[in-house]
Chain A
């Protein structure tokens, strides 16, 4: 990309061009909107990077071809030597409930921001290979998100630490036991004077029990709770509003008007999977009008992309906006000087909705916004209907104050021993605390973690911690429900979890399971064993959801907060990254190569900036700028993000790590370097272009399709989006269908672009990771991609997501051009790919109008980015080099259901085959089944008036069809965009 810099999309020219457009016009990037040659090249070439290989001479070409032919002959040989084949193994003893070759599924919980997400882990021969949501768990309800899906790869991370260490040098467990024993003896002797323990806030009853026991034993020890994705302002807001900390849980299924003030209810807030599901369930409710979703935000988020109305507000103006909103609703408080024009309109809408209205606030908003929103919700009568207050799930500790007190104690010399039992504070604590040098100075510091990360590098001792799939524990979900976690595999190496560590510290000892059992034995006097086993089996403890508490908003509350704005001209907003979160997933190849939902960037982050602000500074995407804030500077490449608030930079956290592991080190820039204790979410600063460029890798232009009308919308009344007509004549031979006819329907009204399906597909189908250089060439291997389109004004565009798997065309253009019959039709209508026939001519890909075929340019099974063999799904072939591959509709799952049904002598029932993407989807946007059966779910979807075929005029008769998005105001994309942002 850097060799052929694209001409800068001229914003003025682009605006004139878009103004002239009459029909619906979708664009993927600003370059495409401006019809830049770069975008055209990517659209027109099947393998754009191959053009650069043209410098090869004839003789070299013949030599290479000859060598390839000879090598192909060798590659076809099979030794057929039984000694080299996999042996048949007889186990030593039989394990009840386990059949070799059949995966075992266990219910467990994974932690995010301290709360639990219930999942089911399938382990094949003791190796976890796939994660699904736990249908019984309130946070997931059977669905998942990219992080949950990718957790099995983190479990198999080769960079995980395997042994204790002192100053980076390996130590034996005997040495470490001696160290721990001495630490404990000293601490118990002096009651914990000078002892500081750091534990990220975790809603775990067992950890709370152990921490309480440790407090009793070591009364003078100090405890700190810090995680970078802070809830401080939410806690402070609740104190302002209710006088005490309370958590708010929303019921989106009951809400008619939802106003999201910052945050991303569908991807970053606690309970996001559930909220996305509930929102779509509400949209599907047949006899109620569609709900109205309003997003008030600075950067483009998933909620903003889905919202019916999106109001672009600079972060520093959010408070004024909410004050205006509250004032219109008659809530006492000083109204701001000039009110935002949209505030009154949204307030009127909320007032009309009454108790079915809901205002939600992102955790990055100032406390007063939280308090005002609570007052608005109360004024609407929303409490008890769309929102309920519960006792805080997480201990209400303000993280910044907590970690600052640790830094102060170390600086003052009162802290002599620091035990960091989780998290990575050296990397992610506010930069002005200079925690790294402080901790290095300590005589005794210990870090418990999965990886020898930045914190481990500063601490004297490091103790490996087990992965969540290797340990017992309990976690409360966002609504208070307790979920158990249990190991799905044996520990890769001896390790010590925080529960076991605290248990040892208290002198209680015991195995992880006993530690967990003890917590619940105290609570369940009768029938303990039965209830404990049941909770382990289900993954949730029934009846533990927190009861709503009466919450009254204090009269004077929302008034008391000073408006503060820093000196800088630009707002700088910090956000968790959609792929690495706070940095903990930086070494996960699936997530690094996952196109971020909105920028489609992979392998890195960028400072997001609005098109008009970029134009003012003369910047285009990939230009490097120096960002100065509060005396700190950081250089970062910018990404021009349509729909971003002007004069604002959004910096994704979680990159620029130095000790994440082989894949994550040195990827992107570290936004934590600008984050201070005073302004953890919103800073102000200035930027200065540095005049150089840095490669940013984005897939937004890859696999572009020719044609219009890719994404369709309908007005509220479901009039037919496609006139069913006579089947067009075709030159393709008629194929006699037999038995099932598998098909898929994707509801664009439900898709929120969260990427869960993409990672689920990757995990299920052994889709390889190719690395940044190959991804930059357009060689990423995802079988399912999500195309993101914008329409309309680049400063306030509409956003559409479209998942595109293989269409399994009935008249498939790929099949007729294959010289070796490697892609053929099955009797059930699947477009099969026979890997061992494929010779890699790539003609099929050239002939595919949907651009869903992927070619293995390298042996992706063994490479620097490849997943460990133990995470591969044994039901799916790992494809070798030189072979084409694509979505199979999860043929292994179809086969499993078919075999199951045939063993039981019954037909395959509707809903029995669930594809990986379908299972992961929180909003149930994907349905799959037999389209030949009249009353199957997918057949009903296909008959819907909203149904249409992608590029249907090509007469490929795709088995995958789409349902148009319902868009009440504008009949087609490209209508009048909201002009409220200015």
Chain B
């Protein structure tokens, strides 16, 4: 009877034994890194939008307050998107005939909403409340980045659960005084935050990291 295995079979098998676990470990490692990379979470990737809106112009150069458009950010879960009427309060005069603004005019005329593509999308199964964060000293910039420097709005952070938990486990270092929440490029620590306030924040961590804080 002929040999079933050739002379090199043992060697091949040994190489196989080494390579396969290495390959698995490598792909596992790559997957680990990839899942944490900005590219995986689409950070910095602009999306097609119906109107070439520039935050860098409106918020950065013109210094329009965030709340002029995102009206409910201090009151409700949703920050609120400006209605076409809000846009037209300026653009009724400015660039009134511009073709890029056509979606706004037709929205007003037809009573149809404008459909923007969300860039700061949270994963499924999670709830987020803007007002709860903004009123407690979490700045717009902390999650949305330097919107005032974005010609095209992009996601600034991964918004992954790990990223949220980084802050929920120890919020104090990232909090700002209430009047600096809307500021961009704000530097410095909260001078008003005394040690006991800091401790109170740290003590809130168990509540902030309870599952039901974000998942209901």
Q: Which residues of A contact B (CB under 8 A)?
A: 78, 80, 82-83, 85-94, 99-102, 736, 738-739, 824, 826-828, 830, 832, 834-836, 875-877, 888, 891-892, 894-895, 899, 902-903, 905
Contacts and interface: CB of A to CB of B under 8 A. Distances in A.
A824 B215 CA distance: 12
Contact of A100 (B80, B123, B125): B80
A85 B216 contact: no
Contacts of B72: 99-102
A736 B210 CA distance: 13
B37 interface: no
Contacts of B82: 90
A832 B125 contact: no
A78 B78 contact: no
B107 A92 contact: yes
A905 B203 CA distance: 17
B216 A876 contact: yes
B85 A826 contact: no
The size class of the interface chain B forms with chain A is 35 or more
B114 A90 contact: yes
B78 A86 contact: no
A899 B129 contact: yes
A864 B210 CA distance: 36
B110 A888 contact: no
B85 A93 contact: yes
Given A86-B118, A87-B115, A101 B207 contact: no
Contacts of A100: 72, 76, 78, 80-81
Interface in B154-205: 203
Given A89-B81, A738-B207, A835 B125 contact: yes
Contacts of B135: 902-903, 905
A736 B84 CA distance: 51
Given A100-B72, A835-B125, A877-B125, A87 B117 contact: yes
Nearest to A894: B212
Given A82-B47, A738-B207, A827-B210, A87 B118 contact: yes
10 contacts: A88-B116, A90-B84, A91-B83, A94-B86, A99-B76, A827-B210, A834-B215, A836-B124, A875-B216, A891-B212
Nearest to B104: A90
Contacts of A92: 83-85, 107-108, 110-113
B42 A91 contact: no
Contacts of A738: 203, 206-207
Nearest to A89: B113
Contacts of A895: 127, 129, 212-213, 216
A89 B116 contact: yes
B145 to A, nearest CB: 17
Interface in B134-155: 135-136
B101 interface: no
Contacts of B80: 99-100
B119 interface: yes
Contact of A836 (B42, B107, B125): B125
Given A93-B85, A94-B85, A899 B131 contact: yes
B165 to A, nearest CB: 14
B111 A93 contact: yes
Contacts of B206: 736, 738, 827
Contacts of B36: none
A828 B119 contact: no
B20 interface: no
Interface of B: 41-42, 47, 71-72, 74-78, 80-87, 107-108, 110-119, 121, 123-125, 127, 129, 131-132, 135-136, 203, 206-207, 209-213, 215-216
Contacts of B47: 82-83
Given A90-B83, A91-B85, A93-B83, 20 more contacts: A83-B47, A87-B116, A88-B117, A88-B118, A92-B111, A92-B113, A93-B84, A93-B108, A99-B78, A101-B78, A738-B203, A738-B206, A738-B207, A826-B211, A836-B124, A875-B127, A888-B212, A894-B212, A902-B135, A903-B132
Contacts of A87: 115-118
A830 B210 CA distance: 9
B117 A83 contact: yes
A718 B135 CA distance: 48
A278 B119 CA distance: 54
A73 to B, nearest CB: 13
B185 to A, nearest CB: 25
Nearest to A904: B135
B211 A832 contact: yes
A436 B24 CA distance: 75
A415 to B, nearest CB: 47
B113 A90 contact: yes
Nearest to A893: B216
Contacts of B209: 827
B211 A82 contact: no
A559 B160 CA distance: 81
Given A87-B116, A99-B75, A902 B81 contact: no
A685 to B, nearest CB: 54
Nearest to B209: A827
B212 A832 contact: yes
A736 B215 CA distance: 22
A739 B78 CA distance: 27
Contacts of B107: 90, 92
Contacts of A90: 81-84, 87, 107, 113-114, 116
A877 B210 contact: no
B207 A739 contact: yes
Nearest to B112: A92
Contact of A82 (B77, B121, B129): B121
Contacts of B74: 903
Contacts of A736: 206
A82 B215 CA distance: 21
Nearest to A738: B206
Nearest to A875: B216
B146 to A, nearest CB: 20
A832 B207 CA distance: 13
A828 B74 CA distance: 26
Closest 5 CB pairs of A and B: A826-B210, A101-B78, A827-B206, A90-B114, A89-B113
B132 A902 contact: yes
A916 to B, nearest CB: 14
A875 B77 CA distance: 11
Contacts of B112: 92
A565 B203 CA distance: 76
Contacts of A78: 123-124
B108 A85 contact: no
A89 B81 CA distance: 7
Nearest to A837: B211
B114 A89 contact: yes
A730 B82 CA distance: 56
A894 B213 CA distance: 10
A100 B77 CA distance: 9
B118 A82 contact: yes
A83 B114 CA distance: 15
Q: Which of B71, B81, B87 has the most CB of A within 10 A?
A: B81
A828 B207 contact: yes
B212 A80 contact: no
A86 B114 CA distance: 13
Q: Which of B77, B78, B215, B216 has the most CB of A within 10 A?
A: B216
A457 to B, nearest CB: 38
Q: Which of B47, B74, B212, B215 has the most CB of A within 10 A?
A: B212
A827 B204 CA distance: 10
Contacts of B210: 826-828, 830, 832
B114 A102 contact: no
A212 to B, nearest CB: 39
Given A82-B117, A82-B118, A834-B211, A88 B81 contact: yes
Q: Which of A82, A90, A832 has the most CB of B within 10 A?
A: A90
Contact of A91 (B41, B84, B125): B84
A877 B216 CA distance: 6
Nearest to A892: B216
A627 B136 CA distance: 70
